[in-house]
Structure 1
Amino acid sequence: MTLRPLTCALLLSGSATAFAQTVLTVSSWLPPTHTVSVSQQKWCAALEQESKNSLKCNILPKAVVAPPGTFDAVRDGLADISYTVDGYTPGRFVFTQVAEFPFLGDSSESTSVAYQRTYQKHFAPIGEHRGAKVLGVFTHGPGVIFNTKKPITSAADVASLKFRIGGGNISELSKAMGWNVTLKPATESYELLSTGVMDGTFLPDESLASFKLNMVKHVTRFPGGLYNSSFVFLMNADKYKSLTAEQKAVLDKLSGEYVARLFGQGWDALDKASREGAQVSQGVQQTAAPQAFVNEIKAKQSALEDKWAAAAEAKGLKNAKGVLAEFRAEIAKVK
C-alpha cells in the first residue's frame, strides 16, 4: 500500500510529537566547580534520566543576571531554573531567616532536609516565594569566620576588622554586635580580600577552595555554625505549567527533600575536603570560638529571634516561636 503525502506528513508529525523534548534554560552564578553548580548539574542529569530524555537542561555558560537579581530573572522567564540566596535581597523574605540562625547544626544535609520539611509545612502555604515554582530549599554548611589578619576569639576581635557578609539574619546579628560588615555576594570575596577592601568574610568551609581565597590565614568555628544562608532552588512558574503531566510528575519527584539532600550532601563533602585539604596546605590557623564568645552571640540572637517571630507572624505565620522550636528538633532527627 502506498501512503499518500498528507498521510506521511501526519505520521511524521505524530512521531515528532511523541518524542518531543523540552529543553530548560538553567542559570548558575557560582563557578562551575562550586558545589551548588555541581549539584545543579547532577540534578539536571537525574531529570534527563527520570524523564527518559523528555526533559533536558541547557546550562548557560554564564549567569543571566547578577546573584541578587536571580529570583526575579527566573520569575520573569530570563531563565527557566536557577537558585538564589534569600538574604541577597534584604527585607524581601522573612520566613527564610529561620534557617539562618546561629548554632543550628554541623551538617548542611541535616539542616537542609529539616528546613525543607519546615518550609513545606509552614511557609509554602503562605507563599513568600510567590511568582515562582519552588523546587526545593537548602542551606550551606555551618558558617565560619575567615580573615587575613589575626586569630579571632571574641566579639571585640571581630569588631576590629572589616568583613563581607551575605545578608539575612547574619546581617541583623552583625548590626546587633556592632561589627563592621558589608553585604556582598560570595562571588566577590576574592576581590574584596585580595585588594584589602575587606579583612575577611563569613562563609562556610568549602569557600576557601571554591573561591580560591589563598590570602586567608585564620578561621574561627562555632558549634553548629555562626550562621547559615537560606537558598531556594526555583523554576519559572509558567514553564512548569506548560509541561505535560508526565513531565510535571518527574519534576515533582525530583523536588522537595530530593533537592535538600542532593545539595546538602554536596556541601558537606566539600566542607570536609576543604578542612582536611585546602586549609591544611594553606596553613590556615584554626580557632574554636570560646564559650564566652558563643554566649555573647546567643545573648544578642535571642532578641533577634523575638523580632523575627513578630515579623513572621505579621506576615501570616502562626506560632512562630513554636515553628522555630520544631525546626531545631527536626534537625536533630534527620538522618
Structure 2
Amino acid sequence: MTHAFGKTLLSLATALVLGTGAATCAQAQQELRFTTSVPANSFIYADILSVWAERVTADSEGTLTIRLFPAGTLGRDASAHLDMVRNGIVDLAYFIPGYTPGAMTEATIVELPNMVPSATIGSVAATRMVEEGLWTGQGMESVKILGMFSTAPTLLTTRGPVASLEDVANLNLRGAGPTLLASIEAIGATPVGGLTAPQIAEALSRGLLDGTINEWVALTIFGISQTAQNHLNVNMGASAIMVAINRATYDALPAAAQAAIDRHSGEAFARLWGETFDARIEAFRSAAEQEPGRNFTTLSEAEQARWDERFQTVIDGWIAETPNGQALYDSFRAAVAEAAN
C-alpha cells in the first residue's frame, strides 16, 4: 500500500465515521410540536414561550428542537388544547385550565379575589403547590406539568362606568373560570362563561357582554380595551395558565432532552413568565392611562369594604366546596407570603 493510497483510505474512513455521526445526530434530534392560542406578535409568544423553547433546545445537546404554533394554528378552539396534549395530538400545549372545568380544580384558588398580588408571586406560589403534590388535578395523568402560572390580578372592564355595587347589578360580565364566575354573581352581576379570550372583543362590540374580568395583557393583546374603556381598579382574582407535555412523549425523550426540559421548567419557568408578565402589565396600563376617553375608577374605602364582604362569600364557598379546601387555602396563602419575601 502506497503512502498516498493509505492517506486516501484514511480520509475515506474518517469521512465515513463523521458522516455516520452526523446522520446519527440528525436522527436523534426530535422535533416537538407546541400549540398555543396566543398570536405570534404577542409578548407571551415572543418573550416567554419562544424564549423558554430556545433555552431548552440550546441546552438539549442537540437532541431536541421545539416548534411553536401560534394563534391556534394546530387547533382554533383554545378550550381543546389540553385534550390535544393529553391525547398526543400535539406534544406540548399552552392552555387555560379554566376552559376545561375539573382539570385542575385546585388552581382555581388563584381566581379568588384579593388572593394574588402579582404574576410573579402567584406563579411561584402555584408552582410550589404542584411540586409539593398539593395540586394534581383530574385526568392529568397523561401529561407532565412544565409550567404552572398565574396572571396578574384582573380588574373589571366595562362598556359603561362602574363605581358601586349598584352600577354593576345585572350587567352581563364574562369570567374565565368557575371561581371568577362566582365572584361576578356575588357582586350582583350576571356571569357569562364559555367565551375564550379571543372571543371577548366581538361579544362586547355586539352588546352580548357589558364587561369582562381580565388583566391588562389580555385587554391589550386581544383588542378588548378597544371596545370597553371603563376600568375599575378592584382585584377580582387572577387566572391560572399552564404548559404541559404529553407524558409518553416526555418519557420517550433522550436523557439530555429530559434534563434540559427539567432545568428550564418549574420555578425557573414560573419566574420567566411572572417577571415578564408583570413588566408588560405595567407598560400596557401606563400606555392606556395616556389614552383619551378612558375612565379609571378606584372604589372609595367604604365601597371597597362592601365589595370585600361580597368577595368573602366566594372565598368561603370555595373552601367549603373544594375537597380539603381549608388546608389548600392555607397552604397557598402561605406560599404566596413566602414568594413575596
- Do both proteins adopt the same fold according to a TM-score greater than 0.5, normalized to the shorter chain? yes
Aligned to 1:185: 196
Q: CA deviation at 1:235?
A: 0.8
Of the three residues 11, 18, 22, the one matched with 2:25 is 18
Q: 1:11 to 1:52 in 2, by over 3 A?
A: closer
C-alpha offsets along residues 28-48 of structure 1, whole Å, 9 cap, x if unaligned? 112223333231111111112
Alpha-carbon distance in 2 for matches of 1:62, 1:162:
27
C-alpha offsets along residues 232-271 of structure 1, whole Å, 9 cap, x if unaligned? 1111111101111111111111111111111111211111
Alpha-carbon distance in 1 for matches of 2:264, 2:82:
20
Q: Is the 8 A contact 1:206 1:272 kept in 2?
A: no
Q: CA deviation at 1:72?
A: 0.5
Q: Mean Cα displacement is larger for which, 69-78 or 51-60?
A: 51-60
User: Percent of counterpart pairs with the same letter?
Assistant: 26
1:58 and 2:67 correspond: yes
Alpha-carbon distance in 1 for matches of 2:83, 2:197:
19
Q: Residue 337 of structure 2: SS of its match in structure 1?
A: helix
Alpha-carbon distance in 2 for matches of 1:139, 1:126:
16
* Residue type of the alignment partner of 1:40: L
Q: CA deviation at 1:21?
A: 1.6
Higher-Rg member (1/2)? 2
What is the correspondence of 1:45-84 to structure 2 with a 5 Å cutoff? 45-63=54-72, 64-65=74-75, 66-84=77-95
Of the three residues 87, 96, 100, the one matched with 1:85 is 96
Alpha-carbon distance in 1 for matches of 2:70, 2:133:
36
Of the three residues 40, 43, 46, the one matched with 2:52 is 43
Aligned to 1:97: 108
Q: Is the 8 A contact 2:94 2:242 kept in 1?
A: yes
Aligned to 1:285: 295
Q: CA deviation at 1:148?
A: 1.6
Q: Is the 8 A contact 2:63 2:254 kept in 1?
A: no
* Residue type of the alignment partner of 2:326: K
* Residue type of the alignment partner of 2:95: T
Q: Mean Cα displacement is larger for which, 171-180 or 258-267?
A: 171-180
Q: Is the 8 A contact 1:208 1:279 kept in 2?
A: no
* Residue type of the alignment partner of 1:198: L
Aligned to 2:159: 148
Of the three residues 210, 213, 226, the one matched with 1:199 is 210
Structure 1: which 5+ runs fail to align?
A: none
Q: Mean Cα displacement is larger for which, 184-193 or 206-215?
A: 206-215
What is the correspondence of 1:129-140 to structure 2 with a 5 Å cutoff? 129-140=140-151
Q: Mean Cα displacement is larger for which, 139-148 or 13-22?
A: 13-22
* Residue type of the alignment partner of 1:240: Y
Q: 1:310 to 1:105 in 2, by over 3 A?
A: closer
Aligned to 2:3: none
Q: Residue 25 of structure 1: SS of its match in structure 2?
A: strand
Q: Is the 8 A contact 2:103 2:140 kept in 1?
A: no
Structure 2: which 5+ runs fail to align?
A: 1-5
Of the three residues 235, 240, 249, the one matched with 2:250 is 240
Alpha-carbon distance in 2 for matches of 1:292, 1:284:
24
Q: CA deviation at 1:149?
A: 1.3
Alpha-carbon distance in 1 for matches of 2:33, 2:133:
30
Q: CA deviation at 1:91?
A: 4.0
* Residue type of the alignment partner of 2:216: D
* Residue type of the alignment partner of 1:134: I
Q: CA deviation at 1:12?
A: 3.7
Runs of 4+ aligned residues of structure 1 deviating over 4 Å after TM superposition are 5-11, 124-128
